[in-house]
Amino acid sequence: MRLSRSFFPTLKEDPKEAQSPAHKITLKAALIKMLLGGVYSYLPLGFFLLKNIERVIREEMLKCGAQEVLLPALQPVQLWIDSGRDSVIGDIMFRFQDRRGRNLCLGPTHEEVITDLVKGFINSYKQLPIVLFQIQTKFRDEIRPRFGLVRSCEFIMKDAYSFDSNWEGLDKNYKAMFEAYRRIFKRCGLDSLSLQADTGIMGGAESSEFMVLSDSGEDKVNFCKTCNKYFPFSEGDNKCVECGRKSEVKAVLELGHIFKLGTKYSEKLGLYFLDEEGKRLPVIMGCYGIGVSRMVVAVVEKHMEKKGVIFPLEVAPFEVILVSLDSSNSEIVSCAERVYEKLEKKVRILFDDRNKLPAGVKLNDASLIGSPFFIIVGKRFLSEGKIEIEVRREKKKIMVREEEILSVLTKLIKNERKEC
């Protein structure tokens, strides 16, 4: 892709409205743009990042045997009354009447809808287990949206739901999801920690939360240096649950939460099946959420540096950005064009082919666009016939001849992949 034909309108100045360093980068790199408080558009660069994160999540869900569906945002309030959650969830759920007088809401989550959906099709243990997931837009009427995509009124979630005929099946699905979550966060370059957590409004028997240490975090955990262990935050004396020493309090951002729901929703909403002996039993459910928009912030926050970001290879909008530094020099320009042509089909590459821009502007933009590799064609090409490859994470610069560029870059990318 050519930057001259792209709509990547990075900002020169730091945006005033930024509420955190990561929020600043997401705005400055033009990943997102606020429409109104708590409501954001994804610009092309942010959309690439989002889709790469979604791809990782999707791949790991499919590995768990989950099948993708797409449920509506519009839901009948009646389903929430039936499940008993209407009054519990309160005003955080957008509600309105349509012209036909139907009481509707915008789904902040989809336990009710998916239970109702599966109920229409399942009646025997032979049809179980089933695991379904979607990557879809949710809505919450937040009074205080914060940190851009961290707490917003409209956001993207991956929500998966498992349906089993016995508790061993639920345990198995829960464990598979747990492992999938660890892989997802790792592939996105995040050090996630997981803790047993409250089941809260979801209900059910057991839940685990997945978090990352984060300045944008709204939650807290305790960390004991001595035991090198995290445990749920307590308002009290913060003593380590293992050694009894005083622990530190750390801010964390919740990215995922998985629940053994059990039979709460199936009983309330009538999702039953016949077991081998013909006995009618409620289906045993689990639910598994990831805040996809939040992952965008978490990835940026974890991988930002002074002037921009160094995205992990797997989710980087572009693996490589190729910069021709002096567009007034025809030798430099035509070398950069040749390099682009050679690499275009082999790697996800962005070519900064823009004319008449100072080197500083181009390099600033490259830092914001965040590719882990820079290829720079500049004066060294004129004097020595050499092109620079920068492995940003290692702060390493390698000078190569034009004809070596593909083989050296391919090797570097392969190495980077291995480390992930």
Report the nearest approach of a copy of itself to the CB of residue 96 (Å): 4
Cβ-contact 123, 157 below 8 angstroms: no
Out of 20, 26, 52, 75, the residue judged to bind a copy of itself by CB under 8 A: 75
Burial of 77 (0-12, 13-18, 19+ CB in 10 A): middle
Cβ-contact 113, 121 below 8 angstroms: no
Judged by CB under 8 A, does residue 71 bind a copy of itself?
yes
Residues numbered 6-35 forming contacts with a copy of itself, rule: CB under 8 A: 6-7, 9, 30, 33, 35
Please enumerate in sequence order all residues whose Cβ is within 8 A of that of 54, keeping only pairs 6 or more positions apart, or say none: 135, 156, 158, 292
Burial of 418 (0-12, 13-18, 19+ CB in 10 A): exposed
Please enumerate in sequence order all residues whose Cβ is within 8 A of that of 91, keeping only pairs 6 or more positions apart, or say none: 141
Judged by CB under 8 A, does residue 47 bind a copy of itself?
yes
Judged by CB under 8 A, does residue 102 bind a copy of itself?
yes
Judged by CB under 8 A, does residue 124 bind a copy of itself?
no
What number of CA atoms fall less than 13 Å from residue 97's CA on the CB side? 4
Judged by CB under 8 A, does residue 91 bind a copy of itself?
yes
Judged by CB under 8 A, does residue 139 bind a copy of itself?
yes
Written as six digits, the tokens of 309 are 């970001």
Report the nearest approach of a copy of itself to the CB of residue 343 (Å): 19
Judged by CB under 8 A, does residue 99 bind a copy of itself?
yes
Written as six digits, the tokens of 144 are 């205080």
Judged by CB under 8 A, does residue 98 bind a copy of itself?
yes
Cβ-contact 346, 410 below 8 angstroms: yes
Measure the CA–CA gap between 335 and 203, rounded to whole angstroms: 62
Question: Which CB, 217 or 317, lies closer to a copy of itself?
Answer: 317
Which CA distances in Å does 234 have to 240, 255, 344? Answer: 10, 20, 53
Count of residues binding a copy of itself (CB under 8 A)? 52
Question: Which CB, 94 or 178, lies closer to a copy of itself?
Answer: 94
Residues numbered 148-207 forming contacts with a copy of itself, rule: CB under 8 A: 153-154
Judged by CB under 8 A, does residue 113 bind a copy of itself?
yes
Burial of 234 (0-12, 13-18, 19+ CB in 10 A): middle
Judged by CB under 8 A, does residue 68 bind a copy of itself?
yes
Build a one-symbol-per-residue string for 387-416: x at contacts with a copy of itself by CB under 8 A, - elsewhere: ------------------------------
Question: Which CB, 9 or 244, lies closer to a copy of itself?
Answer: 9
Judged by CB under 8 A, does residue 334 bind a copy of itself?
no
Written as six digits, the tokens of 67 are 């099948």
Written as six digits, the tokens of 222 are 């305790």
Q: Which residues bind a copy of itself (CB under 8 A)?
A: 5-7, 9, 30, 33, 35-37, 39-44, 47, 50, 65, 67-76, 91, 94-96, 98-100, 102, 106, 113, 116-117, 120-122, 127, 130, 132, 137, 139, 141, 143, 153-154
